[in-house]
């Protein structure tokens, strides 16, 4: 019998739909990437997802929403799969297994039961359940017992006081990384319980009330450490409640052990009286998690009232710290006596309507309000109260020393400013004097020009050293090479001598004398700039066994004549008679003497 085209198309669409949406997972019908398992009411869906559109795939449960997918539970939080053939199935012993293709099992429920009929379904409450058989419908494993970062209606946080087992919320590491983050939500074993947010060391949270919206409300522990209650307003998710807010004392133990968080628009931490920061530098930088330590060790003597006996310091408007225990006492006085006689008792508080609370370990998560709260009494060494007079003396001494040091620095600063001012005036006068002199053909160079030319007086540019100072080779921006004579401050040459040398040298112009190009004066620096002699001085030739061969006797005779002409000019022919008293080969340059 033939099949009509319309019937075939309907059959094909029905087949595709069944291949994408499952009613249950069985040993013979695993869940693969691209397939989903839906709850009967169409609110929840189980399948593979990638939170950051990467190759990492996770098995999770989410609220079906065409606008934005909201993941409420993740199976393989720490073990993403990357193989396209990954699948979720049930073993023959009733354990859910997540295979990463050919790479084996990366996550499982670990349950083992003796039966051959198992299935996994998704309830209308968003609970993934492994059922033993279709007759007894016995649940052997369920996701609601292994919470992630989200709490749904009918899910609970528990703490077994006998075994210590607990069911907690654990935040994602980030909005795109489902692996366990830094924060948890958990029920504390204290009575009465607390409702706080803390960094993965235990937590109490509010319960979630069921409403009748089409999409159920949820509580989520965020990667920033907040607990948020969401409800769906018909178009999107809205936050009903959030705690703690950013920069809030509601963050658990924000000030560390024996630290007190002062509630204000900008919360700040301080140590209890008698305590000091454990890590001072970190505390100053605003990292208070290290908390505080005692300044003076306790000297508990039970009910003793002697001078060395411990005392209690009362603080008002305090939110009681964590980890207290009840003491069966009648009134506030009995509460005080009970703590005083117990050396392990570090603090106590008597609260009307509740009774006596005592602390025998570090005070954690204490907060001080501007109004309200309770009175907390902390055990301190007696010396913390008896040292007021001594402290005043120390303070007075410290203030006096501080004032003396400040005055000393002020006097030193005034003296330095005066010296610099005098030096500045002297420098200006020096420059003015030089400019007023008749120095024809002499250039005044800027210090930056000289520093650039000599590469900041690089040792590789040093040509020589003498009693007057050092000589450096330099190269100006136009490519011209120069020699810079940097006078030493220990040369003994003062302002007048330097000015006389500049004026004198500027008037000495001869072909057998090295020509001066200019000078530079800045601060204590006094520089003379000469033309650069490429062949250097005679000593590099005469005392070198190889180079001495380059100057034969006719050349040497020319050099001798050049020296004689230069001395003759200095001694007789120049406008100023100059007696050269330091004639040596290191002061003679071959290239100008042979001219």
Q: d(Cα 369, Cα 63) in Å, to the nearest integer?
A: 40
| Residues listed for the chain | 595
- Round to whole Å and give the CA distance between 208 and 217: 8
125 a catalytic residue: no
Q: Which residues contact 163 (CB under 8 A, 6 or more apart)?
A: none
Residue 33 makes CB contacts below 8 A (sequence gap 6+) with 48, 57, 84, 85, 86, 87
d(CA 74, CA 48): 10
Q: What ranges make up the beta strands (E) of 246-405? A: 259-262, 268-271, 275-277, 292-294, 311-319, 325-327, 347-351, 355-359, 366-368, 374-380
Segment holding 462, helix H or strand E = strand 462-465
CB atoms within 10 A of CB 14: 10
In the numeric block, the tokens 């950013």 are attached to 246
Given the residues 328, 478, 552, 582, select the one marked as catalytic: 582
Residues whose CB is less than 8 angstroms from the CB of residue 356 and which lie 6 or more positions away in sequence, other chains included:
326, 327, 328, 329, 332, 334, 335, 338, 348, 349, 350
Lookup: tokens for 378: 């902390």
Q: Which of 247, 257, 194 minimizes the C-alpha distance to 224?
A: 247
Distances (CA, A) of 474 to 343, 458, 478, 530, 534: 81, 10, 12, 10, 12
Look-up of token digits 């009733």: 94
Is 409 strand, coil or helix?
Answer: helix
For tokens 């319980």, name the residue. Answer: 193
- Token pair, residue 551, equals 């100057």
The answer to whether 543 and 530 are in contact (CB under 8 A) is no
> Cα angle at 391 between 390 and 392, to 5 degrees?
90
Q: In the chain, what is the straight-line distance between the N-terminal and C-terminal CA atoms, in Å?
A: 124
Helices 388-436 and 495-506 pack at an angle, to 10 degrees, of: 30
Whose CA is closest to 71, among 87, 55, 57?
57
Return all residues near 39 (Cβ < 8 A) that are at least 6 apart. 45, 122, 123, 124, 126
**Tokens in use for 256?**
């560390």
The tokens describing 515, both together, are: 């020509």
Instruction: Identify any residues that bridge with 474 across adjacent strands, giving them in sequence order.
Output: 482
State the SS3 of 13-47.
HHHHHHHHEECCEECCECEECCCEEECCCCCEEEE
Q: Does the annotation flag 268 for ligand binding?
A: no
Q: Which are the catalytic amino acids?
A: 582
| Residue list, annotated binding site for ATP | 485
| Residue list, annotated binding site | 485
């Amino acid at each position: 019998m033939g099949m009509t085209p319309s019937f075939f198309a309907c059959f094909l669409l029905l087949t595709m739909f069944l291949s994408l949406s499952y009613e249950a997972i069985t040993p013979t019908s695993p869940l693969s990437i691209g397939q989903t398992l839906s709850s009967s009411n169409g609110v929840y869906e189980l399948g593979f997802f990638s939170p950051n559109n990467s190759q990492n795939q996770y098995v999770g449960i989410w609220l079906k929403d065409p606008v934005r997918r909201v993941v409420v539970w993740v199976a393989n939080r720490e073990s993403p799969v990357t193989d396209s053939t990954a699948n979720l199935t049930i073993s023959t012993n009733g354990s859910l297994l997540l295979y990463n293709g050919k790479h084996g099992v990366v996550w499982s429920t670990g349950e083992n039961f003796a039966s051959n009929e198992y299935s996994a379904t998704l309830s209308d409450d968003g609970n993934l359940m492994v059922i033993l058989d279709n007759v007894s419908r016995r649940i052997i494993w369920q996701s609601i017992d292994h919470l992630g970062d989200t709490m749904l209606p009918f899910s609970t946080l528990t703490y077994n006081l006998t075994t210590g087992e607990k069911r907690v919320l654990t935040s994602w590491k980030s909005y795109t990384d489902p692996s366990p983050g830094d924060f948890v939500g958990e029920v504390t074993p204290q009575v009465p319980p607390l409702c706080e947010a803390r960094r993965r060391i235990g937590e109490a949270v509010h319960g979630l009330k069921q409403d009748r919206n089409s999409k159920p409300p949820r509580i989520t522990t965020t990667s920033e450490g907040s607990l948020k209650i969401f409800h769906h307003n018909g178009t999107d998710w809205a936050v009903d409640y959030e705690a703690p807010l950013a920069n809030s004392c509601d963050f658990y133990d924000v000030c560390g052990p024996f630290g007190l968080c002062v509630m204000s628009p900008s919360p700040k931490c301080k140590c209890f009286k008698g305590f000091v920061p454990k890590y001072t530098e970190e505390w100053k930088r605003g990292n208070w998690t290290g908390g505080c330590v005692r300044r003076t060790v306790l000297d508990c003597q039970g009910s003793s009232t002697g001078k060395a006996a411990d005392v209690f310091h009362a603080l008002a408007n305090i939110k009681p710290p964590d980890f207290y225990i009840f003491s069966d006492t009648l009134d506030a006085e009995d509460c005080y006596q009970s703590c005083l006689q117990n050396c392990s008792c570090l603090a106590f508080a008597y609260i009307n309507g509740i009774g006596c609370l005592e602390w025998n370990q570090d005070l954690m998560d204490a907060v001080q309000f501007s109004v309200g709260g309770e009175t907390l009494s902390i055990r301190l060494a007696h010396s913390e109260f008896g040292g007021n007079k001594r402290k005043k003396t120390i303070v007075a001494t410290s203030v006096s020393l501080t004032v003396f040091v400040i005055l000393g620095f002020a006097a030193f600063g005034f003296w330095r400013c005066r010296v610099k001012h005098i030096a500045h005036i002297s420098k200006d006068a020096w420059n003015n004097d030089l400019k007023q002199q008749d120095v024809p053909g002499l250039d005044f160079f800027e210090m930056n020009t000289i520093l650039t030319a000599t590469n900041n007086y690089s040792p590789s540019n040093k040509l020589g050293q003498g009693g007057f100072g050092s000589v450096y080779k330099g190269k100006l921006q136009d490519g011209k090479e120069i020699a810079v004579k940097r006078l030493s401050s220990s040369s003994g040459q003062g302002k007048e001598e330097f000015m006389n040398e500049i004026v004198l040298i500027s008037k000495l112009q001869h072909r057998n004398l090295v020509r001066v190009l200019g000078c530079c004066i800045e601060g204590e620096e006094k520089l003379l700039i000469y033309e650069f002699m490429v062949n250097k001085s005679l000593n590099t030739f005469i005392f070198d066994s190889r180079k001495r061969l380059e100057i034969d006797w006719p050349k040497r005779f020319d050099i001798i004549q050049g020296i004689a002409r230069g001395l003759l000019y200095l001694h007789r022919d120049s406008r100023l008679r100059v007696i050269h008293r330091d004639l040596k080969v290191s002061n003679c340059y071959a290239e100008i003497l042979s001219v």
